[in-house]
Each structure stands twice: as C-alpha cells, then as structure tokens.
Amino acid sequence: MSKSLTSPEWFDRAQLSIPGGVNSPVRAFRSVGQSPRFIARGQGSHLWDEEGCEYIDFVGSWGPLILGHAHPVVQEAIVKAASSGWTYGAPTTGEVELAEQICRLVPSVEKVRLVSSGTEAVMTAIRLARAFTGRDLIIKMDGCYHGHSDGLLVQAGSGLLTNGLPDSAGVPEGYARLTLSCPYNDTDTLESLFQQYPDQIAAVIVEPVAANMGVVPPLPGFLAALRRLTQTNGALLVFDEVITGFRLALGGAQQVFSVQPDLTTFGKIIGGGLPMGAVGGKRAIMDQLAPLGPVYQAGTLSGNPLAVAAGRATLAILEQNPAIYLHLEQQASWLAEQIRSASARNSIPVTVNRCGSLLSLFFCPGPVNHLEQAKTSRTDRFSQFFTSMLAQGIYLPPSNFEAWFLSAQHSEEDITRTAEACATSLQELNSRGM
C-alpha cells in the first residue's frame, strides 16, 4: 500500500498542477507563513486534516456553514435531490420555492434570480443598476470585497488586502475608472462624491457589515445615510449580503439595521454550502433581466437542483429555529469578551470587532471603523497568534483580515476551549516580547 501524503506533501504536489497550489488565494496560508492543511473531513464544528489532526473550525467554508459541517438534514436533502439527477438546464419546482422563501424572509426582495456564486450575483446587480439608471459610475467602499469581477477589485478586501494588492492586473484602466472608492463609515466623502459626479452614479454597493477587512460594523446612522444619499441622488443602493444574509438574522443585515436597499446580493448560506448566489430586489428593477428585459444574464448551472435542495433545507432549519441566532449571538459575544480580557491581562492591545456570529481581532488599540484603521493591525502578531492557535487545534481564517465564523454546532466546550487557546496565544506573544 502506498504511504499517504501529509498536507505539506500534498501542497508540494498541488503546486505542480494548480497555480499556487490552491483554487482560491485566501486558502494559501501565505500571509501566516505556513502551508495549508488539506482537509479530509468535517463534522459539526470540527475538521480533520489529511494527517488526522482535529480542529475546531472558525472558517466554516468562509461563511456558508451556519449549521456546521455535514448537517444530517441538509445532507439528506442533497442525497435525495441527487437520486433524481443533478442538473437539467430546465426549471424545477425547488427553484420557485427557494425564490418564494427568499422573498418572504427578506422584505426588500420582491423578485430574485439564482446564480452560481456571490461574484456572479454582484456582477448582475451592477449591470442591473447601470441599465436601470442609465448611468455608468459605481461607488464601493475601501476594504469591502464583492467577488473578483472586473471593476470591483479596486481597494478591495479579502485576499487582495491580505496580499497587499491595491487591485488586480488584467483589469482595463478605463473599466476600473468607473469605480469610485470611498472609505467605509465615511458619509462626508460619499456626499462629496455625489456632488463631484452629479447624475453619473448608478449605485453605491456596500457590505452592510464589512467582513472582508476583518469585521467592521457600520457606525450608527451610516447605512441610513447611504439610503438617504442614494435616494436623493437617483442612485441605487446595493447591499452585498453574501456574508451577512441569513447569518445576522433571517432578514440579514438589512433587518438588523432597518435599512432597505434597492438590490441585495446573496451567496454562501443560501446554497447551504453548495455553489449558489442570488440577486434580488424591487420588481421594477429585477424585471429588467432577460428574458423580460434588456439586461442579459445567464448560467448553465443557475438554480442547480442540489444547491437549491441544500439551500432550502438550510433556510428551513433557520426559519424553524430562530433561537439559533440568539445562541450564536451569546456564544460570539462571550468569546469576544474573553479575548478582550485576555488581551488586557497580557498587555497585548487588541480590538475585537463583532456583529452577531462574525468576529475578528485586530492587533491594535482601535477603534477599527474603516480600512486605514484595520491596516494598523500588527499582522506579524496575528501570524504568531494564528500559528499558536492552530497548534492548539483551533482553525482560524489564515488572514488577519478575514472574519471568524461561528456555527450553530459550536458547543460551549468548543467556545471555552477556543477562549482558553486565545489566552494562551496572547500570553505567548507577551512572553516573547512581541
């Protein structure tokens, strides 16, 4: 029998056939000076790598797994759907029921189009906004990440921020010039952009809770100001709820902060961990989409039956168990408090930002309300912290600028062990004089 490979050996092998050895840059562990763990299995809140090491998982596939790994009800829904075939390129009843479910749960959404990823959802939202308003410019917030389409990589968060890239090669300059960028939580700059470009701005797109430069919640009144300024200036407001949708509440961040956008993009949780995205919003805007209207959008696997089955099962469980949100809130808030007190005990200045079950830790005194403040985090400290946490069996996102995701399966024991590991890691930083 051939000897099984370790994760580093798999990584060496992967780099021969996959650029950088990974199929998405955020998986590469580069910024934390390690090589990625190759995952063999996930169950509930835990992961096992190829070497059989067990971890408490706070990545959760970067957000979709609010119910944890291999939830039996979701698994059964996928298996049942697969037993009838898995793609037809023709409508299915499940798509209609999922669309109805989304429209019911998110009041600003009157119609929804299913696509295969958050990136696609955002591309479609921007195209719709341009067609609907007859304008070309869009405004995005520095440090927000809206997928990897041309035009949305300007001052973007996530892997670009982790790797120190201001934008991406290969995006024509003329195209990037159509994207104006504005600091998050800065209403004055936004107002002046509207003054500078009157009647030219099609949309403002924002993560209502930024979660790709670490977690940065909106300051009181920020989202309401976006709503007011877009309305006054004839632009659309697009909430990218790919991360926050169905995570902060059934109605997403827009429910939590009581601000209704014109368009919303979804991903992650709506597919229950299978590839799925969606764009939804007001009927008059959504009806611009082909085949009704002139805005073209299409996809061979859009509304894929397996993804629809996983998404419907996930949303149904969340809808039937609203206590999940309270549980997540309590677990995450307790963990955040524990990290804050461990940081004080060890004299390592840390800012823990949190919103619901999303949290992240910046190695700076804070506050962290926008990208420039996020960038003051001591990423060298984060790397040490990450390495120590991994050694203690805690699998965090391998970047200082990605959110930690809690799931409904994280037990009290998981959270207590994680808090203890954080305290140990901070103590190690202190004793190394870092």
Site residues (CB under 6 A) for ligand HOZ? 24, 26, 62, 145, 158-159, 212, 402
Do residues 399 and 160 touch, judged by C-beta distance below 8 A?
A: no
Tell me if residue 325 is catalytic: no
Would you call the peptide bond into 291 cis, given omega within 30 degrees of 0 as the criterion?
Answer: yes
Q: Give 148 or 227: the residue with its C-beta nearer to ligand HOZ.
A: 148
Alpha helices in 18-117 (DSSP H): 72-82, 93-105
Nearest residue (CB) to ligand HOZ, 201 versus 307: 307
Paired tokens of 330: 């309590």
Nearest residue (CB) to ligand HOZ, 55 versus 62: 62
Tell me if 392 sits within 8 A of 400, measured CB to CB. no
CB of 27 vs ligand HOZ, minimal distance in Å = 6
Q: How far is the CB of 22 from ligand HOZ (least distance, A)?
A: 9
Please say which residue, 157 or 183, places its beta carbon nearer to ligand HOZ: 157
Instruction: For the CB of residue 36, give the shortest distance to ligand HOZ in the complex, in Å.
Output: 12
Minimum distance from residue 158 beta carbon to ligand HOZ (Å): 4
CA angle 58, 311, 260 (to 5 degrees): 85
Give whichever of 23 and 320 is closer to ligand HOZ, judged by the CB atom: 23
Residues 115 and 310: their CA atoms lie apart, in Å, by 14
Shortest distance (Å) from residue 171 CB to ligand HOZ:
17
Phi then psi dihedrals of residue 130, to 5 deg = -65, -45
Q: What angle do CA 398, 401, 406 make, to 5 degrees?
A: 70
Strand 39-43: give its sheet, edge to edge. 39-43, 46-49, 54-57, 394-395
Tokens of 58: 């706070």
Considering the complex, what minimum distance in angstroms separates the CB of residue 24 from ligand HOZ?
Answer: 3
Per the annotation, the verdict on 140 as an active-site residue is no
- Taking the least distance from each CB to ligand HOZ, the nearer of 161 and 201 is 161
Question: 278 Cβ partners below 8 Å, 6+ apart?
Answer: 102, 112, 113, 114, 115, 121, 265, 266, 267, 270
Q: Which is nearer to ligand HOZ, 111 or 140 (CB)?
A: 140
Does residue 80 have an active-site annotation? Answer: no
- Which residue among 262, 268, 375, 395 is the active-site one? 268
Q: How many CB atoms lie within 10 A of CB 131?
A: 17
Active-site residue, selected from the candidate residues 55, 145, 325, 395: 145
Do residues 360 and 215 lie in contact, with contact meaning Cβ atoms separated by under 8 Å? yes
Shortest CB 282 distance to ligand HOZ, Å: 26
**Pair 147, 119: CB distance under 8 Å:** yes
Strands of 323-401, DSSP E? 351-355, 358-362, 394-395
Q: Measure the CA–CA gap between 19 and 187, rounded to whole angstroms.
A: 40
The number of residues in the chain equals: 434
SS3 274: strand
> Closest residue to ligand HOZ, Cβ-based?
24
Which of 240, 262, 325, 414 does the annotation list as catalytic? 240
> Which positions are annotated as active-site residues?
145, 240, 268
